């Protein structure tokens, strides 16, 4: 067996976002602690980070009870409901370890899958992602939209995963670039890093029916993912700046304008064609205008994008934070 670059740092931050999941917290926390306590490896250290994304039920009150865990536990609460991705980013920002484990708070991901995922991850992968091959969801409301979304992600990226939307993932913190933390970035993470040639492994994981709470996933999520895909391809492909992306179209437009101009002169000199009898002057102007327009869009979008990236870290407000200091 060929051993890849094995993980030296064996410390893991487990980040779980919650939004109105008060009835799932006790069971999930119990299952997770049982799994982690059964990992008999003195080289491994874990911390659990629970993030309440502005719930209006008793989620935060239930989370505060988990402070009795014998594993280091950190609990944070957003002032408002931002998004699942924002909750994950908050978890990353307060994490202490360099390896991350993501898990949904709705009990549909099975914490018992973590040990087998760790085996693959510690054999040299940069990210191990779950594949909910046998989903326990409503087909038309969740499974079908997920199939469509995964098809679009594979179409517009280099990622070939079957299930980009599975929250259960283990990954290196260093591959998380905070400048891509927009929209549903956690669902497009594998697609985004596929341009940078990180080693990604997908393995089948258990998927369970939702017992309590209400799913936040609907058809609108597919359209949001499509918008994020367009955003990613336009502004973030392979780390390109948007000025480079639009600049290429601008240069092609300038080239087309030049060719049209040369052809126009040829028609005028050698075929004695009156310019007002052809659309060539309009084409020259049109391509020239498009060239400048693409350059302007590239510069403007880069400015907007830079402003958005600079402000992102200041947009999320943690209302409360507690930990058990183990």
Q: Which residue numbers in the chain have pLDDT < 50? A: 1-4, 178-179, 181, 237-240, 311-312, 314
Q: Whole-angstrom Cα distance, residue 62 to residue 22?
A: 6
pLDDT at 2: 39
Backbone angles phi, psi at 314, to 5 degrees: -95, 0
Beta partners for 50?
A: 16, 75
Q: Tell me the pLDDT tens digit for each residue of 271-302.
A: 777 777 778 888 889 999 998 998 888 777 76
**Whole-Å CA distances, 249 to 254, 303, 306:** 9, 18, 21
Q: Hey, CA dihedral for 164, 168, 172, 176, is it positive or negative?
A: positive
The whole model's pTM is what? Answer: 0.73
pLDDT at 264: 85
pLDDT at 56: 93
């Amino acid at each position: 067996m060929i051993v890849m670059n094995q993980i030296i740092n064996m410390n893991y931050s487990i980040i779980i976002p919650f939004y109105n999941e008060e009835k799932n917290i006790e069971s999930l926390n119990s299952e997770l602690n049982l799994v982690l306590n059964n990992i008999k490896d003195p080289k491994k250290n874990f911390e659990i980070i629970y993030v309440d994304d502005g719930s209006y039920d008793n989620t935060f009150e239930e989370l505060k009870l988990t402070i009795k865990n014998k594993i280091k536990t950190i609990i944070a609460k957003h002032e408002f409901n931002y998004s699942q991705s924002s909750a994950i980013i908050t978890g990353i920002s307060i994490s202490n370890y360099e390896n991350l484990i993501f898990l949904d708070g709705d009990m549909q991901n099975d914490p018992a899958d973590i040990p087998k995922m760790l085996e693959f991850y510690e054999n040299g992968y940069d990210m191990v992602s779950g594949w909910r091959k046998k989903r326990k969801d409503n087909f038309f409301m969740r499974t079908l939209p997920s199939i469509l979304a995964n098809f679009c992600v594979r179409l517009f990226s280099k990622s070939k995963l079957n299930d980009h939307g599975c929250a259960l993932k283990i990954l290196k913190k260093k591959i998380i670039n905070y400048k891509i933390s927009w929209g549903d970035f956690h669902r497009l993470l594998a697609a985004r890093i596929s341009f940078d040639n990180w080693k990604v492994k997908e393995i089948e994981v258990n998927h369970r029916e939702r017992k309590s709470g209400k799913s936040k996933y609907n058809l609108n999520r597919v359209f949001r993912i499509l918008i994020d895909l367009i955003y990613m391809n336009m502004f973030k492909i392979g780390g390109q700046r948007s000025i480079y992306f639009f600049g290429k179209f601008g240069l092609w437009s300038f080239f087309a304008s030049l060719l049209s101009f040369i052809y126009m002169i040829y028609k005028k000199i050698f075929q004695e064609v009156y310019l007002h009898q052809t659309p060539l002057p309009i084409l020259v102007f049109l391509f020239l205008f498009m060239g400048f327009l693409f350059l302007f869009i590239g510069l403007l979008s880069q400015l907007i994008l830079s402003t958005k990236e600079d402000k992102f870290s200041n947009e999320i407000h943690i209302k409360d934070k507690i930990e058990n200091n183990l």
